[in-house]
Structure 1
């Protein structure tokens, strides 16, 4: 399979040269992208299918159709003096770290070699991590549970099904209608793992991954084959006896029906594993802030609040519900509202408004009115155009309100002490915000 790579919002021109993609392959990938829920009404939400090039938008991940695949990487700034391969490797590592935080996974990224980060696509790296974790788990034993069975046996086992005994077996007294529990590995959790292994076997083009998936398929040979659409996710119970399977279950859900992505198949259509960066950035930052403030007098709610902007006059029914990305409370009162935006803003030298949209400001003003928070923050990804200083970039008072609106950034390319930096954004800058409010 010929792999192609492009950054979000960049173009991949048509042609047979280096860094180009043949037009017929571009057509195939664009058709697959249009099947994604992220494609939007015009079908260009994932890829813009232009006359001369494919242009990636704010969705990242993998599109695989037939004998070609397209990897879309986020526009995360890494060391500019590195080679293209090394820069892509660094971006893949940061993206998978963001996914791990957002999905509450503990992934050992150190087990993936530097060569793999450079040469393998995002999908193949995720498959490799999944295979490693699943192999380690099955070596410790597959989970089993008691499942109720019914059978007609020559001797009583379990309890007698009286109704079935005197109907079906009325003329055959040598058989007893038994109902009993049998300890079995053919259960919902193992069926999900087998479905994930089978699905990835059809998707992966890595020789190493294919070998690992074949070995795992042999382990699950006696487990029933269930179509992914018919899997019983609700039947899976994670408790202290099978806690180590929690992350594998989350990864299987990611591959089969994930919250951020969509997988489509059939009739050569291909497979798509896609993530909307707005949603991923929001979940990533929100979960890190919750960790950063653990043990303080503040509590964090993600997508909380849900206060309506309007109430219908006749029915008093709420209209236009709000869902702030991150609400921070102290003593039950909202003290800080943070809204994440996966957008590239400009420096104040280039633009006093920094490219912050008017709609985003209006949204924050609505939060100020509805939630009564004295501090609001629009949080963006940091980039070199903003200088070396991240966190709070600008601070303004909302006219007519005792509320401060901040513009801030966080460098997702820098994974060092992320919790400490976010804690500084919330706690250290809180005093500065209050001073600005009183000034």
Structure 2
């Protein structure tokens, strides 16, 4: 009876995940699991008999899966402050996630404007030795108009400081040097560091322009923020407004 109930729990977990999964690979795997549990009687979640499941040496390998199924089917949530029950966590590399999200939004914001957006492109080398390149670069976002690079954006999932606390607002010297190198390597007069906006900053998004190397230089570095709270369409509009300062043709996009 215990193994039968365990299979019923696993089928219920697979069924619930099939309803929410969006990634094609996940959908495919869940379909395969659905076929594997096709002969198991489907039981409504409230009627599952968790008390009949007994884990012993023969089925100990199911312990973590059963714990995850209980969390999933019981509509429970975890907190980090207290509790003695083992659970699961999903960890995301926020710098990569922010970069990919901004790349998609910028592509949509510039649709129909004549600009092309390349994510993780470029691949130009900083140094050369006997014909071999060294220290290859990979800017987060390159915006081109025809064959000309008009803007390089590097996203940084870092918390900017209010100007009252730090005149540099937490922008690191290494990040500035990196963007200056991009400006030279890609012959691009405009480069941008883009950070997430947060509540400790002034209400309006930041967009500060600095001349590179000398006062009044044509080459500039912008330090800007994007508020990623709220709906995605608001983020796209914010990016259109931000990009219009550098790419005038994008205003009509």
What is the TM-score of this pair, normalised by structure 1?
0.39
1:324 and 2:139 aligned:
yes
1:417 and 2:231 aligned:
no
Q: 1:190 to 1:286 in 2, by over 3 A?
A: closer
Structure with the greater alpha carbon radius of gyration: 1
Q: 1:295 to 1:430 in 2, by over 3 A?
A: closer
Distance 1:423 1:360 in 2: 24
The alignment covers a number of residue pairs equal to 192
Q: Deviation of residue 130 (structure 1)?
A: 4.2
Structure 1 unaligned spans of 5+: 1-126, 135-187, 210-268, 432-439
Q: 1:372 to 1:129 in 2, by over 3 A?
A: farther
The within-5 A match list for 1:18-417 is: 130-133=17-20, 192-194=29-31, 202=66, 203-204=68-69, 205-207=71-73, 273-312=90-129, 314=130, 316-392=131-207, 394-400=208-214, 402-415=218-231, 417=234
Q: Deviation of residue 345 (structure 1)?
A: 0.8
**Residues 379 and 410, structure 1, Cα contact 8 Å, conserved in 2:** yes
Q: Deviation of residue 133 (structure 1)?
A: 4.9
SS state at 1:273 partner: coil
SS state at 1:285 partner: helix
Q: 1:290 to 1:196 in 2, by over 3 A?
A: farther
Structure 2 unaligned spans of 5+: 1-13, 37-61, 76-85, 249-253
Distance 2:27 2:119 in 1: 32
**Residues 105 and 236, structure 2, Cα contact 8 Å, conserved in 1:** yes
Q: 1:130 to 1:424 in 2, by over 3 A?
A: farther
What is the TM-score of this pair, normalised by structure 2?
0.66
**Residues 142 and 152, structure 2, Cα contact 8 Å, conserved in 1:** yes
**Shift >4 Å, 4+ stretches:** 127-130, 188-191, 194-202, 269-272
Distance 1:128 1:192 in 2: 12
Q: Deviation of residue 373 (structure 1)?
A: 1.1
Q: Deviation of residue 297 (structure 1)?
A: 1.1
Q: Deviation of residue 274 (structure 1)?
A: 2.1
Distance 1:189 1:282 in 2: 23
Deviation string, structure 1 residues 383-439 (Cα, Å, up to 9, x no partner):
1222111151x11000155311011001111325211111111124545xxxxxxxx
Deviation string, structure 1 residues 193-220 (Cα, Å, up to 9, x no partner):
34666899653323368xxxxxxxxxxx
**Residues 142 and 149, structure 2, Cα contact 8 Å, conserved in 1:** yes
Distance 1:128 1:385 in 2: 43
Q: Deviation of residue 333 (structure 1)?
A: 0.7
Distance 1:367 1:351 in 2: 25
Q: 1:201 to 1:359 in 2, by over 3 A?
A: same
SS state at 1:274 partner: coil
**Residues 98 and 155, structure 2, Cα contact 8 Å, conserved in 1:** yes
Q: Deviation of residue 307 (structure 1)?
A: 0.5
SS state at 2:91 partner: strand
**Residues 391 and 425, structure 1, Cα contact 8 Å, conserved in 2:** no
